[in-house]
Amino acid sequence: MQAPCWKCGASPTNAPGLPESEAMLSSLELDSATYLLHSNDAPLASEIPGVRHIVSAERNRIERLQTEILELQKALERRMQELEETKASLKNHTAILSAVRRVPAEIICEIFSYTLPCTRRVNGLDTQQAPWRLGHICRQWRATVLGYPPLWSSIAVHASWDDDTYSLAMVETHLRRSANASLAVTLDCKDGQIKSSNFSKSIDLILRHSTHWVTLSLRLHHLVAARILARLRPAMGRLPALRTLEFVEVTKQYRTPDSSLTGDTFSIAPALQKVFLTREPFHNVALTADLQLSWSQLTHFRGTWRFQEDGLNILRSTPNVVECGITIVGRDSLPPGSTHVALPNLRRLSIDAHGGFLELLRAPLLQELWITGDTAHYYLRPFIQHSSCTLVKLVMDDCSDPPWLAMILPDIPTLTTLYIAFSDKAIAKVLFDALKITGGPSDILPNLTHLAAGGSSGFGINAFVNMAATRWYKGTPRLSFMRTFYRLDVSSSSSAFKDVVSLIEKMRGEGLDAGFDTGFRPEPRNYFGLGCP
């Protein structure tokens, strides 16, 4: 039995036969042609008809083969197209069985929630951002997005936009889709220009939902702050869910009078716990807050005052505060007879003040203390002694007297995290020598695991790194994080730092999270930011 064709698979019984004229070529013609193919002789007159016969037959054969090949190519193309269509169909039908299609709507909503832009950076009502964009992918996603109000729980409007930047219809639609969800509202007028007539109308729409506000962030230029606050007064008594109030006053003038925030809009807000009052970019301008608030219910607070007594009075009004950040921009002295302030629930405190402000505070549960000011550390010891607290984190910025600090740290054996940024002329070798671990009972800060220090070129980087090495090799517990930094832009490859860099790299290779940063003044939160109040 003959095998099928090895090229096209056709059965030999179906193979087209040779024309009779080709099959009947005489052996004499073939022999004569073969002889002539292997020589350069001219054909005899009697041989020419036979050769012509062969040429004609082979031309016919070529034409037939070309026709057959063309048909086979077309058949192959049809099969290839059919193959690709089948693959696509397989992929599409397999997708129907995918577990993704069976993900519960609540899981999809949870995933979508991570796509939402941060409220502080939200570009307003941008249809290319979530959640607007998510509603234009497929029917299922659109139904999910429209049916999950928490995805619409954050809204920001900007006064500086032109009318055509966003429409009232978008604001209204956004609020309608938020339904009864808790709302985080941002009103931004930091440029001091209200170009859009829609801004005021948008405030009216947002005010209708004031019972759902949980966070209100106001970023207002100092020229329009009072005006915008007055526009919000209809919300008075209609803020049952408001938990966080943030007011950032923006000014581009360094010499701007202290700002006074007044009003009773937020006087009735039973859930209010967090209030943050700041000014940008000039933090040395005080915000005199005459806002009528239920101060005693606050658990988180941040603000700036001109006089120390004003700051103390505010703290006296917030006995339940857990986290507090306070700045006193003046250098006044406390009046004689100033009494201490009890803060029995305070866990984290950030203070930027001169004079004896810190000394008057009593915080027995304090765990984290952030201090800024070239004289504030002189009042650290009496504060620790009076509060009897067990600090675990101490952050000091602009420390001017390292030897004095060396005498205080033995009073805080519970510290696990220490950050010190020294003032320009401070030399800290005495402090670093005192912090070396020897393995004896006289070791200072035996529980220290996170350490960062730096300053200008003379602060004593060699002494610091050598001290850190003793805590890496001898400490129990061992040091797990170390950073040193220079405010000057110097090369860490300089010969002056050869030994320092070599020791840092050695400890890093052994597993210590260590580094040497130059050319910038890092904020404490660069290293230990999560605990910053």
146-186: per-residue pLDDT in tens? 888 988 988 888 776 555 556 788 889 899 999 999 999 99
User: Is the pLDDT confidence value at 21 over 50?
Assistant: no
DSSP3 helix / strand / coil % (the chain, rounded to 5): 40, 20, 40
- Domain identity same for 135 and 35: no
- Domain identity same for 118 and 244: yes
For residues 256 and 146, what is the distance between their CA atoms, to the nearest angstrom? Answer: 46
Q: Residues 39-48: what's their mean pLDDT?
A: 83
| Res 116: pLDDT | 76
User: Is the pLDDT confidence value at 479 over 90?
Assistant: yes
For residues 263 and 226, what is the distance between their CA atoms, to the nearest angstrom? Answer: 9
- Domain identity same for 471 and 529: yes
- Domain identity same for 76 and 175: no
> Which among 346, 222, 349 is positioned nearest to 278, based on CA atoms?
222
- Domain identity same for 431 and 525: yes
Whether 191 maps to a domain, the answer reads yes
User: Is the pLDDT confidence value at 379 over 80?
Assistant: yes
Mark which of 62, 96, 130 sits at the end of a domain: 96
User: Taking CA 25 as the corner, what is the angle to CA 24 and CA 26, rounded to the nearest 5 degrees?
Assistant: 100
Whether 498 maps to a domain, the answer reads yes
Q: For residue 141, how many other CB atoms are within 10 A of its CB?
A: 15
- Domain identity same for 185 and 120: yes
Structure tokens at 30: 């073939």
Structure tokens at 507: 């400890």
For 385, residues 6+ apart whose C-beta sits below 8 A from its C-beta are 411
* DSSP-derived 3-state class of residue 87: helix
Q: 100 pLDDT band (50/70/90 cuts)? A: confident
- Domain identity same for 63 and 139: no
Structure tokens at 431: 């402090």
- Domain identity same for 129 and 75: no
Better-predicted residue by pLDDT, 437 or 427: 437
Task: Please report, as a single letter, which amino acid is at residue 340.
Answer: H
Whether 357 maps to a domain, the answer reads no
- Domain identity same for 89 and 124: no
| Res 220: pLDDT | 83
Whether 350 maps to a domain, the answer reads no
User: Is the pLDDT confidence value at 71 over 50?
Assistant: yes
Better-predicted residue by pLDDT, 386 or 36: 386
DSSP 8-state class, residue 374: T
Whether 306 maps to a domain, the answer reads no
Q: Quickly list H helices, 284-379.
A: 308-316
Place of tokens 């995918």: 98
- Domain identity same for 114 and 85: no
User: Is the pLDDT confidence value at 285 over 70?
Assistant: no
| Res 486: pLDDT | 82
User: Taking CA 290 as the corner, what is the angle to CA 289 and CA 296, rounded to the nearest 5 degrees?
Assistant: 85
For residues 3 and 466, what is the distance between their CA atoms, to the nearest angstrom? Answer: 87
Mark which of 96, 118, 135 sits at the end of a domain: 96
Q: For residue 272, how many other CB atoms are within 10 A of its CB?
A: 22
| Res 353: pLDDT | 83
Task: Please report, as a single letter, which amino acid is at residue 229.
Answer: L
pLDDT digits (tens, 9 = 90+) for 102-145: 888 888 888 888 777 654 444 456 666 778 877 777 888 888 88
- Give the domain extent around 107: 103-251+269-285
Please give the radius of gyration of the chain, using alpha carbons only, rounded to the nearest integer.
41
Structure tokens at 517: 């940063």
**pTM given for the model:** 0.74
| Res 531: pLDDT | 44
Whether 486 maps to a domain, the answer reads yes
| Res 90: pLDDT | 93
User: Is the pLDDT confidence value at 33 over 80?
Assistant: no
Q: Residues 253-276: what's their mean pLDDT?
A: 76
Mark which of 96, 111, 136 sits at the end of a domain: 96
Bridge partners of residue 157, in order along the sequence: 187
User: Is the pLDDT confidence value at 419 over 50?
Assistant: yes
Q: Residues 461-489: what's their mean pLDDT?
A: 90
Place of tokens 């201490």: 340
Q: What percent of the chain has pLDDT over 70?
A: 80
Q: Residues 392-398: what's their mean pLDDT?
A: 90
Whether 74 maps to a domain, the answer reads yes
CA dihedral 401, 405, 407, 412 (to 10 degrees): 170
User: Is the pLDDT confidence value at 527 over 50?
Assistant: yes
Number of domains forming the structure of the chain = 3
Calculate the average pLDDT of the chain.
Answer: 82
Whether 441 maps to a domain, the answer reads yes
* DSSP-derived 3-state class of residue 214: strand
pLDDT digits (tens, 9 = 90+) for 306-363: 888 888 988 999 999 999 998 888 777 777 778 899 999 999 999 988 778 888 999 9
- Domain identity same for 92 and 111: no
